[in-house]
């Protein structure tokens, strides 16, 4: 399942991209463990020789981790990547809010005379700190993407479609299908 909102929030927290390839991720793990293949092996739950084969593969040998190990390596790197920067950026986003820029399908539930059909719109809005805290809390709790869409749809509906409560009071906005989404600090 695509986690557009969760991935967008994670990109907000990093200043450098997380390594994508397994080889780069292994290099990062080795750097954090001061080059010790024994320590990396202990963290991953494999033998030291296995990590050595992964780091310096020889032609014709098993030089790649299994898909399960690749996933574990990726999760470890993502969890350890820029911890202080992540904490600072998250605190700043929760204190002063974040800017969200998205292109998504927005639907409406309103009184008679309006169309409920979803429409593709490009929306940019400033989320306050309380909404940003709510979105991060949902991310920490591991809620589904639909729940994130509900929270973000409510917030963007209030900001963009109801103009911060100045019009369209009975309008209920739903965020349905996200084409792209980006978050930035205010």
**pLDDT value at 110 more than 60:** no
> Each residue of 4-15: pLDDT tens digit?
888 888 888 888
Confidence of residue 109 (pLDDT cuts 50, 70, 90): low
Which domains are present in the chain?
17-81 (1.10.260), 95-185 (no CATH)
Triad 86, 140, 109: Cα angle to 5°: 115
- 150: number of Cβ within 10 Å: 15
> Each residue of 25-54: pLDDT tens digit?
999 999 999 999 999 999 999 999 989 888
| Residue-level pLDDT at 169 | 59
**pLDDT value at 1 more than 60:** no
**pLDDT value at 185 more than 50:** yes
Instruction: Give the tokens for residue 58.
Output: 């020889």
As a whole number of angstroms, the distance between CA 5 and CA 138 comes to 11
Which three-class secondary structure state does DSSP give residue 15?
Answer: coil
**pLDDT value at 2 more than 60:** no
Highest mean pLDDT among 47-61, 67-81, 118-132: 67-81
Instruction: Give the tokens for residue 109.
Output: 């539930």
Q: Reading across the β-sheet that carries 172-185, which strands appear in turn?
A: 119-127, 98-109, 172-185
| Residue-level pLDDT at 179 | 84
Please answer whether residues 105 and 120 qualify as being in contact, where contact means their C-beta atoms are separated by less than 8 angstroms.
yes
Mean pLDDT of 66-77: 91
As a whole number of angstroms, the distance between CA 181 and CA 164 comes to 21
Q: How far apart are the first and last CA of the chain?
A: 29
As a whole number of angstroms, the distance between CA 172 and CA 118 comes to 12
| Residue-level pLDDT at 121 | 81
């Amino acid at each position: 399942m695509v986690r557009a909102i969760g991935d967008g929030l994670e990109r907000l927290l990093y200043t450098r991209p997380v390594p994508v390839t397994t080889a780069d991720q292994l290099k990062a793990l080795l750097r954090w463990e001061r080059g010790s293949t024994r320590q990396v092996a202990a963290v991953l739950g494999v033998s030291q020789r296995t990590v050595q084969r992964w780091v310096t593969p020889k032609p014709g040998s098993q030089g790649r981790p299994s898909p399960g190990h690749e996933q574990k390596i990726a999760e470890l790197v993502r969890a350890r990547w820029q911890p202080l920067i992540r904490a600072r950026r998250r605190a700043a986003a929760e204190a002063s809010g974040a800017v969200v820029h998205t292109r998504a399908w927005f639907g409406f539930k309103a009184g008679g005379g309006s169309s409920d059909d979803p429409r593709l719109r490009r929306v940019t809005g400033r989320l306050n700190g309380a909404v940003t805290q709510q979105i991060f809390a949902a991310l920490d709790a591991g809620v589904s993407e639909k729940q994130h869409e509900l929270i973000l749809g409510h917030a963007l509906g209030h900001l963009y479609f109801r103009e911060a409560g100045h019009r369209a009071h009975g309008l209920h906005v739903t965020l349905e299908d996200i084409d792209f989404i980006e978050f930035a600090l205010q």
